Amino acid sequence: METFNRNNFYNRTFCIFKEVSVSEIQNLKCNYHSKSKSQYFFNDIGVYRLSNHWGRASNCRWRLATDNKLVSQRNLVGFAKWTDFFPNDETSNLYFIAVDFNPNDVNFYHKNCSSYDGKATLRNALQTAKVIQN
């Protein structure tokens, strides 16, 4: 399995960042500013991302796990360990869908996530998006 780090995490990956407080990056030096104005702060364990856009980022699929329903257009900070990144390939069957009926929430996950039980149907990214939309 491919190992991701500060030199390759941004190229064709899937990741679920966990929302953290902006105070976690207040005293950190930004290591990279993207053209889309996202900021990245690296450490040995993983990466903080300050951004106002989540979901599809370039050739990556990065989601922010948050209780906040207003994610779009707001600067939020997410953290992901290097081990939370998985290869993203738009045509391979890498994704499964999980439903949480309590908050009535549907999401997709990578087959290499620890929550994959080997039983859920795997689809490519486009097929997964179509099933979720229906």
| Predicted pLDDT at 24 | 97
pLDDT digits (tens, 9 = 90+) for 39-83: 999 999 999 999 999 887 788 999 998 876 666 668 999 999 999
Mean pLDDT value across the chain = 89
CA distances from 100 to 15, 38, 73 (A): 19, 30, 25
Binning pLDDT at 50, 70 and 90, where does residue 106 land? Answer: confident
Cβ neighbors of 108 (< 8 A, separation 6 or more) are 95, 96, 97, 98, 128, 129, 132
| Predicted pLDDT at 70 | 64
Average pLDDT over residues 88-110: 85
Predicted structure pTM score: 0.85
